[in-house]
């Protein structure tokens, strides 16, 4: 039986109900600690709201929304320069520059909402839709017309919930997969992982480690992150602007703020060459799951030292040594992540355009909005699970 839930929109973490973190217990990315990071250091073209779902006076659901103004971007990504890219950029600027996400566009996975046990999921998702309408109206009053409303990222098993909740006028889309490595029960140490690799991929591992000789890896604390903040941002920005597509760029104080708020749950590792910071990667502990976050590197060092691949091996080693169940590598660099054992998990979302005519053609338009990447899945282990 469907329930009648209400919602309240918040734009300050300090205003959130006291019971909020009890519902976020299984997902750090909905916790007040993480949401306060977004409040303090979200990308300059992003505005966040926090949604509380209520059954009478009781908080039964929590959600995150992000409004992105793509007109404020310096670049959509500089790696690919072709006619199709130009058409995509035109479509975004002309028809889809204001996007409202229910979910977190900075992450991959279901970080959109959480509900209390016993809460009717269909009713909750219906209420989230009402909240998105209210947000759209609020932005319009402030002079920002929302062109596109998007709910992201959901696995196949969750799609039926949206169908039951009446999202038939939304376009269901599939994005690039989330790359996830499940830690096998037999991997007590990183050496066990390496032993399970086929010879070709063990040789890849050995070659990468040989290439990385001379690099020093350091765990960096808050004072280190503050000290190297300008270099860190330059390294991040180099990687970000050379990605195929961007909808935001991080604020310069983002990593500092993450460390201040998440403390030991946020890990920052720097890679130094002759005392100079030439790369970094970041990890966030999310219960029994380890999420990879943003990274950066000097391109010349990356090529010479196979730095990115070495970072992947280092993150896997940490995951195994600390007893995590899986590591989420997200949705970039699919093939190289596949070569270290990550498996693709298909992700889905729902979107609706405010222009009825454009909405009917979203299946065609989406091919331009979501760049297709051709890649070959690798199978690096001796035996499949």
Burial class (CB in 10 A: 0-12, 13-18, 19+), 109: buried
Whether residue 132 has pLDDT greater than 70: yes
- Average pLDDT (323-332) is 95
Q: Which of 215, 177, 196 is nearest to 320 (CA)?
A: 196
Q: Which CATH superfamily is domain 5-175+347-369 in?
A: Gcn5-related N-acetyltransferase (GNAT) (3.40.630.30)
What 3-state DSSP class applies to 368?
helix
Taking 50 as the threshold, does the pLDDT of residue 239 lie above it?
Answer: yes
| pLDDT greater at residue 81 or residue 101 | 101
For 52, the token pair is: 């509380």
What residue ranges do the domains of the chain occupy?
Answer: 5-175+347-369, 178-345
Strands of 146-219, DSSP E = 148-154, 171-174, 178-182, 215-219
pLDDT for res 83: 46
Q: DSSP of 117-149, one letter per residue?
A: TT--HHHHHHHHHHHHHHHHHHHHHTT----EE
pLDDT at position 87 is 47
Annotation: CATH topology of 178-345:
Aminopeptidase (3.40.630)
What pLDDT digit, counting tens, does each position of 150-184 carry? Answer: 999 999 999 999 999 999 999 999 988 999 999 99
Does position 230 have pLDDT exceeding 50, yes or no?
Answer: yes
Q: Does the pLDDT of residue 23 top 60, yes or no?
A: yes
Give φ, ψ of 281 to 5 degrees. Answer: -135, 160
What span, in angstroms and rounded, lies between the C-alpha atoms of 65 and 134? 12
Contact in structure between 338 and 178 (CB atoms under 8 Å): no
Lowest-confidence region among 76-85, 306-315, 347-356: 76-85
| pTM of the complete model | 0.93
Averaged pLDDT score across all residues of the chain? 92
Band of residue 72 on the pLDDT scale cut at 50, 70, 90? confident
Contact 9/135 with Cβ under 8 angstroms?
Answer: yes
pLDDT of residue 97: 82
């Amino acid at each position: 039986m469907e329930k009648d839930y209400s919602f309240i929109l918040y734009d300050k973490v300090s205003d959130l109900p006291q019971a909020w973190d009890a519902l976020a217990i299984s997902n750090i990315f909905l916790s007040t600690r993480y949401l306060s990071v977004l409040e303090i250091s979200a990308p300059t073209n992003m505005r966040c709201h926090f949604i509380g779902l209520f059954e009478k006076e009781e908080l039964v659901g929590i959600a995150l929304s992000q409004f992105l103004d793509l007109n404020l971007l310096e670049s959509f990504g500089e790696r690919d320069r072709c006619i199709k890219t130009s058409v995509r950029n035109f479509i975004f600027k002309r028809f889809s520059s204001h996007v409202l996400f229910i979910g977190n566009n900075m992450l991959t996975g279901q970080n959109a909402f959480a509900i209390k046990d016993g809460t009717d999921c269909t009713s909750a998702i219906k209420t989230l839709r009402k909240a998105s309408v209210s947000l759209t109206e609020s932005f319009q009053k402030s002079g920002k017309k929302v062109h596109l409303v998007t709910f992201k990222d959901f696995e196949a098993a969750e799609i039926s919930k949206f169908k039951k909740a009446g999202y038939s006028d939304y376009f269901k889309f599939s994005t690039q997969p989330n790359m996830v490595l499940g830690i096998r029960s037999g991997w007590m140490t990183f050496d066990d992982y390496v032993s399970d690799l086929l010879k070709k991929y063990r040789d890849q591992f050995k070659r990468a480690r040989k290439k990385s000789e001379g690099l020093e890896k350091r765990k960096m604390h808050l004072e280190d992150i503050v000290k190297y903040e300008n270099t860190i941002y330059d390294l991040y920005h180099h990687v970000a602007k050379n990605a195929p597509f961007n909808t935001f760029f991080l604020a310069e104080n983002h990593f500092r703020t993450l460390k201040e708020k998440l403390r030991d749950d946020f890990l920052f590792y720097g890679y130094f060459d002759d005392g100079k910071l030439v790369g970094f990667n970041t990890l966030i502990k999310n219960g029994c799951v380890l999420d990879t976050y943003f990274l950066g590197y000097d391109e010349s060092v990356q090529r010479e030292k196979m730095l990115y691949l070495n970072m992947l091996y280092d993150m896997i080693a940490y995951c195994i040594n600390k007893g995590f169940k899986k590591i989420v590598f997200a949705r970039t660099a699919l093939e190289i992540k596949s070569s270290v054992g990550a498996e693709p998990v298909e992700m889905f979302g729902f979107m609706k355009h405010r222009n009825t005519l454009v909405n009917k053609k979203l299946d065609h338009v989406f091919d331009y909005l979501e760049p297709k990447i051709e890649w070959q899945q690798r199978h690096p282990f001796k035996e499949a699970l």
